[in-house]
Amino acid sequence: MKVNKAELIISAVKSEQYPNNRLPEIALAGRSNVGKSTFINTLLTRKNLAHTSSKPGKTRTLNFYNINDDLIFVDVPGYGYAKVSKAERASWGKMIETYLSEREELCGIVQVVDIRHKPSAEDIQMYEYLKYFELPVIVIATKADKVSKNKRPKHLKQVKETLQMEKEDKIILFSSETGQGKDEAWKEILHLT
Ligand SMILES: Nc1nc2c(ncn2[C@@H]2O[C@H](COP(=O)(O)OP(=O)(O)OP(=O)(O)O)[C@@H](O)[C@H]2O)c(=O)[nH]1
Ligand SMILES: [Mg+2]
């Protein structure tokens, strides 16, 4: 996929602010600090278009990125970040729920998990939640560079089984460090749009 154009359209917190250009959307989901924004940058070959940080809680709004006027990536704040107030957590939950439940342009989710760890209760809950809305999910098992090559298949299997992934959903081994899985991720994303 050749990316000629990649730009932030809007950082939204409510539905009135969503773009109205009717392009298909793919949204990111995953624990805070897992690598969602980095995943977007890797696919777009842009260093810091989506802002990333070594500290969790970097992305706080729904950020809509126009890609080649063909599709939109929606970067979403991560869950599981401890250092937020109850009120703030509730308003994020509402923001994400509104988007996932109402957005007609949404055609699939990229759920990012850390290949090193067994998916958390929140990861499982998120996957189930997405399935409840009947959304197709591509699971990205990222940070593959941090697991030795011979151990990766075992970790992939653990992710698949813990999430109880449906067989229509794809899981892709990925690393933003090495670019592993980038072509496959694009293929599956374009397949959904
Ligand atoms: N080694 C390695 N590090 C990664 C990879 N992907 C992301 N990271 C690092 O993980 C950290 C968090 O990345 P972000 O992309 O900001 O995470 P996020 O999921 O967008 O986090 P929030 O915005 O807080 O929800 C950064 O320090 C990245 O450099 C990867 O594939 N390999
Ligand atoms: Mg982010």
Query: Which segments of the chain have a pLDDT < 50?
Result: none
pLDDT of residue 114: 98
Task: Report the predicted TM-score, pTM, of the whole model to 2 decimal places.
Answer: 0.95
Whose atoms come closest to the Cα of 41: which ligand? 1
Q: Which of 99, 100, 169 is closest to 132 using CA atoms?
A: 100
pLDDT of residue 89: 82
pLDDT of residue 30: 95
123-127 — which CB contacts under 8 Å span 24+ positions? 123/30, 123/31, 123/162, 123/163, 124/162, 124/163, 124/164, 126/29, 126/30, 126/79, 127/163, 127/164, 127/165
pLDDT of residue 91: 85
Atom of ligand 1 nearest to the CA of 34: 19
pLDDT of residue 120: 96
The verdict on the CB of residue 111 being under 6 Å from ligand 1 is: no
Q: Compute, in angstroms, the gap from residue 37 CA to the centroid of ligand 2.
A: 4
Helix/strand/coil percent split, the chain, to 5 = 35, 25, 40
Q: Compute, in angstroms, the gap from residue 56 CA to the centroid of ligand 1.
A: 9
